[in-house]
Every structure is written in C-alpha cells, then in structure tokens.
Amino acid sequence: MAHPIPDPRDRLIVALDLPSVRAAETVVGRLGKEVTFYKIGYELGFSGGLGFARELIADGKKVFIDFKLHDIGNTVARGVASIAGLGASFLTVHAYPQTMRAAMEGKGASPLRILAVTVLTSYDDADLAEASYGAGVAETVARRVAQARDIGVDGVVCAPTDAASVRAVLGPRRAIVTPGVRPAGSAAGDQKRVATPLEAIRAGADHLVVGRPIVGSPDPASAARAVQAEIAAAL
Ligand code: C5P
C-alpha cells in the first residue's frame, strides 16, 4: 500500500515560518478551508507555536512539527511521545540510526509519522568534511535513506531534485516530503535545488512544503489554490 493520503488537499503543507501566533492566525484565517496541513518549525514553535498547533489540530487541521530532533535515544523517545500526544501528524528527526530507532519507539501506536532528514540541503561536501565526516553528500544521503528504510521510518524529507533517486531506494510505501518547491515564475529566495509542484510530484513526492510563495503572497488563498491545481494536474 502506498503512503495513504485520503484528502488530496493534504498534499500541500504550508510552512508557517512566522514570528508569532498572531501572525500565524492571520495567515491561517486567510487560507481558510482549502489548506489542511501546516508546518511549524523553530521560529513559530519557540514563540508559542505548540499551543497553536493544538488549536489547529482541534480545528481539524494536520500539523507537521519540523524540529529535526537529535539527542540520546531516551531523550528522543520521550520527546517524540510528547509530540505524539499533541496529535501532530508528522515530525522530523535527523537520520542517525540511533535517533530514528528511538523516534519509532517513542511514537508507539500513535498515528504520528516520523520523517528522516538525511543531509541538510545547506550542506555540501566541504561542509561535511568541516564537520568531520569522511563521506560526501551523495554517499551520505544514499546511505541514510537505506538506513531509514531498514529501520522502518515513515518517510524522508528531501529536495525535489533528489525525490526520484530517494524513491528508488525507499520503495512505494513510505512518504517523500519535499521543500524547495516554487510555482513557475515565483522567486527562489535562498532555495537552490528548486522544482515546480508538477516536477516535484512527477519525481515521486507525496507532500510538498511551500512557505514564502504562499505566506508572503498578497493573496495567500489564491497562491495555495494555484499550487493545489498544479499538484492535481501532475497526478
Ligand atoms: O519559504 P520556503 O517555501 O522556502 O519554505 C520551505 C520550508 O521548508 C522552510 O520551513 C524550510 O525551513 C524547510 N526546509 C527546507 N529545506 C530543507 C528542509 C526544510 O527548505 N532541506
């Protein structure tokens, strides 16, 4: 069975990279019922965003907590259990085998899905060498995707330009979530390996994370609808 996505609107995850709950409430209010899935990262998460996550979940939205956890196993497992208790749908952890195993243990029987971050997209081979790694990005990503698959994590976060090769290793059942998605004609910002929604879905992505092209748009709802239409066209 492929990664289940009962509501096609869930394929779009809007990144609430905003400094306050008030700012997030405004965006969510303007997006309305078309957007069903939100990502909360460090910025909003550490300014009251976990309480806001609870409100979103109570309103029937899905929440992706993007905290990229990495610590000793006991700490990871207990932290993951707390996020499962919040009712979140997705949570990121760094793709270290100990961390991935602890996260899978911590989520228990909850529906929370653990997503592994292989190598941060801001890292190149020189950055890995500077951080004392012997292997480069391509080799490290390939190895960590295979480890994620073998440990049984629920999915992987990767650049849309890597989705096809990740899918080949990961198989059909696990989720691929891709940031770095830019509708044709929108600014790339600091994203380097970008793709359009159509390209990302065709490469095998299940969910697309889009932030600034929607949240920073003068009309966020129509920007979101345009991305959803492009996703629908690709399927
Ligand atoms: O604004 P934008 O569409 O670039 O937002 C993309 C989101 O995805 C941000 O929250 C960013 O932190 C996140 N992300 C990313 N690249 C990764 C992992 C996460 O852009 N490799």
Arithmetic mean of pLDDT, 16-43? 97
Arithmetic mean of pLDDT, 103-119? 97
- Ligand 1, pocket-test mutation among 144, 158, 209, most atoms within 8 A of CB: 209
Rounded to an integer, what distance in angstroms lies between the CA atom of residue 201 and that of residue 195?
Answer: 10
Q: Grade residue 192 by pLDDT with cuts at 50, 70 and 90.
A: confident
Question: Among the residues of the chain, which ranges form H helices?
Answer: 21-31, 42-44, 50-58, 73-86, 97-107, 125-130, 137-151, 163-170, 197-202, 212-215, 220-234
Predicted TM-score of the model (pTM)? 0.95
Distance 7 CA to ligand 1 centre (A): 23
Beta carbon of 49 within 6 Å of any ligand 1 atom: no
Torsion of CA 206, 209, 214, 215, to 10 degrees: 150
For residue 118, which phi and psi values (nearest 5 degrees)? -75, -75
Rounded to an integer, what distance in angstroms lies between the CA atom of residue 98 and that of residue 75?
Answer: 11
Closest ligand 1 atom number to CA of residue 215: 1
Helix (H, G, I), strand (E, B), or coil: what is residue 71? coil
Distance 34 CA to ligand 1 centre (A): 21
Closest ligand 1 atom number to CA of residue 212: 1
> Using one digit for the tens of pLDDT, what is the confidence trace for 71-108?
999 999 999 999 999 999 999 999 999 999 999 999 99
Arithmetic mean of pLDDT, 64-72? 98
User: Which domains occur in the chain, in start order?
Assistant: 8-234 (3.20.20.70)
- pLDDT at 231 exceeding the cut of 90: yes
Beta carbon of 3 within 6 Å of any ligand 1 atom: no
Rounded to an integer, what distance in angstroms lies between the CA atom of residue 1 and that of residue 180?
Answer: 27
Distance 191 CA to ligand 1 centre (A): 8
Active site residues: 68
Rounded to an integer, what distance in angstroms lies between the CA atom of residue 137 and that of residue 141?
Answer: 6
| CA-atom Rg of the chain in angstroms | 17
Q: From atom 20 of ligand 1, which residue's Cα is the shortest distance away? A: 179
Which pair of structure tokens corresponds to residue 221? 């709802």
Beta carbon of 192 within 6 Å of any ligand 1 atom: no
Rounded to an integer, what distance in angstroms lies between the CA atom of residue 209 and that of residue 22?
Answer: 21
Distance 17 CA to ligand 1 centre (A): 9
Average model confidence (pLDDT) across the chain: 95
Looking up tokens 């990495």 gives: 70
- pLDDT at 191 exceeding the cut of 80: no
Beta carbon of 210 within 6 Å of any ligand 1 atom: yes
Helix (H, G, I), strand (E, B), or coil: what is residue 63? strand
Give Cβ neighbours of residue 45 (< 8 Å, ≥ 6 apart): 53, 65, 67
Rounded to an integer, what distance in angstroms lies between the CA atom of residue 187 and that of residue 157?
Answer: 22
Question: Which pLDDT score is estimated for 1?
Answer: 55
Distance 15 CA to ligand 1 centre (A): 7
